[in-house]
Structure 1
Amino acid sequence: MEENQKKCYEIAERIYDLDVKVYESVGSALGRTFTDDRQTCVENLTRLMTLRPQGHLLRSELALISNMARTIKDEEVKAEVMTEYDAILKAVAELPDGFGKVDILNKKRAKLNTARTKKKFKKGDHLVICIGRTQGSAGNDIGFALADALHINYYDVEILQEVLKRLDVTNDAKVSGDKDQDGLIEDKYQKNFGEAKGLKQKLHDFNRYHGLNKDDAIFFNQSDLLCKMAKEEDFVVMGRCADVILANNHIPHISIFITAPFEQRVKRYMEVNNLSLKQAVHELKKMDKKHRKYFQFYSGVKWGDAENYDICFNSASYGIEDSVEIIERMLNKIPGVSWNKKEA
């Protein structure tokens, strides 16, 4: 086995074992992150680590595990688990193609910047950081690194969809009483979740979504979930109109928009995803259009307009590491608050 692949395989085994440890320690009915047999899961994780275009999927899997780990009540076990989690993150970062390895920094612009904020929270409010970003600006890498630095949970579209799916299955099972042989709630929908199959299924979905189409129903369910989470925990959330949703519900949060010059984003996207110039340009334009359309459709607010955010910055002027530091400095300006000094 090639040396790098061997390292990935070893890390994959550690990730799988950590997931098992976290699940056993929490005893949650929501289930583990990895549900297939050990060999299959380890091979899939190894593949994710060796294929850079799938790096964001690995990041989401790790975030799911850490989010669950932070709910462990036994502080000694929690500390042990988070120590292993941090060690795994470090091992992934040291891989030649680890996520976040390709930075967005433009060194010439990095010398020109300062940061400031006037945002204030009341005592007892939870720290919720909503991040919007253009594709290729390293926004997800910055958000993930920020959540890790602050020792708070991280949510992106994949994680939110998984949480909603598990909650939906849990609630459905509570009604039907269905359980598998191990006593765990059966995931009835799995890959076919929400797909209409025949008149009976269409009627079922119509009732499930209260007559709304699936996309609208998911958005409203997701909105309810975000509001509930914002009243219970600190977290970083990527996109999903979270800033507008929380603002409309009068819930304190910090909204950030991250972007970078198009040519800089293309350059990074080509390297991260092994794409040609033509492919990268096409993909970036397509994804930016998709994000803009989604945001403006559900929020009625102009996506990326500086006046709609607490802070907007050019990640190419800072890079991933310094972007995280900038946001931390901003948080430290909130009177009486030092979230970045929290212990894991």
Structure 2
Amino acid sequence: MEDNQKKYTELANRIYDLDGAVYECVGSSLGRTFTGGRERTVRTLSMLMYTKPDGHLLRSELALISNMARTIKNKEEKSRMMTEYNEILMEIEKLPDVFGKVDILDDERVRLNLAAKREKLSENDHLVICISRTQGSAGNDIGFELADNLKINYYDVEIFDQVMKRLEADKDAVNDAENFVDFNKYTKKSGGSLKTRFREFNRYHGLPKQDAVFFNMSDLICNLAKTEDCIIMGRCADMILKNNHIPHISLFISAPFSVRVEHIMAVRNMNLKQAVRFLKKMDRQHRKYYQFYTGEKWGKPENYDLCINSANYGIKETIDVIRRMIGK
């Protein structure tokens, strides 16, 4: 403990002296970072190193000095100041529990994050990118072009619908009526013809059709992620893969509502009122669907590896940002 206190005092004195030296080189009218006397300043700096929760305050003080040092015009003086600064920084980083020492990694998410791994761990790990997006943010355009850029397969709701229909066509259409236990109860709660309700009950093992489709689609998504590189648009794919411990990268693409309205008006040939109503409806549906099947909040930043405002970059540049993130 005593040795640490001596180290804190030594470093605090070096920081104080560096601040004075930088000020002399710059001669700035902004003044020095530390305006108090040496004894008081050294005591304050030592306390900042000692009280770890306030480590960000020490970092801010150091940043002020380095920012000033980088404005020194004389190259030799600038090099000398920055060398001393870097040496002080390295010494501080050796101290226990200072800033940057306590990481923020979520081990479970890291294990599933292909972008964090930077490379495939085995032949069974594929590049799977799950993209959630708000309507009108050009998310589908971005996903499609990204898949084309990366030369991997692309799946969206329309493609999944086609795949699921083909799988449904392979199933037996109707089971024997004698195998049905609670027929009257089911028919009272369901719409459609008696024959249709009976067929769907048996086909989906008593589950509501929407739930059965979701579970079947979940199996399909997991199988895709295990067997090929691909981009999956929506369908709660990020949470499905997370819950099944399958590595993937999850993205959320959005844009300001006003920009999305303009985009929808242009793409769908809608007027302002129609576009606003359409976007609110689609956002509401996406939010309800995601929350119902995952228990999580749709668009919540913590649920994704990267959130992007596509309006800040446009389609091409957004794709470039994602490619750089995944090292492609």
TM range, smaller chain: 0.5 to 0.7
Secondary structure, in 3 states, of the residue corresponding to 1:321? helix
The CA RMSD measured in Å over matched residues stands at: 1.9
Distance 1:197 1:262, change over 3 A: closer
Rg larger for: 2
* Counterpart mapping for 1:106-117 below 5 A: none
Query: Please, which runs of 5 or more residues in structure 2 have no aligned partner?
Result: 1-114, 176-189
2:318 aligned residue (310, 314, 323): 323
Shift of 1:172: 4.1
Q: Residue 223 of structure 2 corresponds to which residue in structure 1?
A: 228
Secondary structure, in 3 states, of the residue corresponding to 1:118? helix
**Does the 8 A contact of 1:196 with 1:205 survive in 2?**
no
Q: Residue 161 of structure 1 corresponds to which residue in structure 2?
A: 161
1:314-338, Cα deviation, whole Å (9 max, x unpaired): 0001100111111111111xxxxxx
| Normalised TM-score (structure 2) | 0.57
* Amino acid in the other structure paired with 2:224: M
**Does the 8 A contact of 1:119 with 1:254 survive in 2?**
no
Q: Residue 247 of structure 1 corresponds to which residue in structure 2?
A: 242
Shift of 1:119: 5.0
Taking the aligned partners of 2:304 and 2:238, their CA distance within structure 1 comes to 8
Query: Relative contact order (C-alpha < 8 Å, sep 6+): which is higher?
Result: 1
Distance 1:218 1:150, change over 3 A: same
1:123-174, Cα deviation, whole Å (9 max, x unpaired): 320111100001100000000001111111111111001101112213449x
Q: Residue 306 of structure 1 corresponds to which residue in structure 2?
A: 301
- 1:170 to 2:170 alignment: yes
Taking the aligned partners of 1:240 and 1:155, their CA distance within structure 2 comes to 10
Identical counterparts, % of pairs: 62
Distance 1:119 1:305, change over 3 A: farther
Secondary structure, in 3 states, of the residue corresponding to 1:131? strand
Query: Please, which runs of 5 or more residues in structure 1 have no aligned partner?
Result: 1-116, 176-194, 333-339
Taking the aligned partners of 2:214 and 2:204, their CA distance within structure 1 comes to 11
Shift of 1:199: 2.2
- 1:286 to 2:281 alignment: yes
Q: Residue 147 of structure 1 corresponds to which residue in structure 2?
A: 147
Shift of 1:271: 1.1
| Normalised TM-score (structure 1) | 0.55
Q: Residue 274 of structure 1 corresponds to which residue in structure 2?
A: 269
Q: Residue 133 of structure 1 corresponds to which residue in structure 2?
A: 133
Taking the aligned partners of 1:197 and 1:264, their CA distance within structure 2 comes to 41
Taking the aligned partners of 1:196 and 1:207, their CA distance within structure 2 comes to 15
**Number of residue pairs the alignment of both structures matches:** 197
Taking the aligned partners of 1:259 and 1:198, their CA distance within structure 2 comes to 41
Shift of 1:272: 1.1
* Counterpart mapping for 1:192-207 below 5 A: 198-207=193-202
1:210-254, Cα deviation, whole Å (9 max, x unpaired): 101111010000001101111111111110000000000000000
Shift of 1:202: 1.5
* Amino acid in the other structure paired with 1:118: A
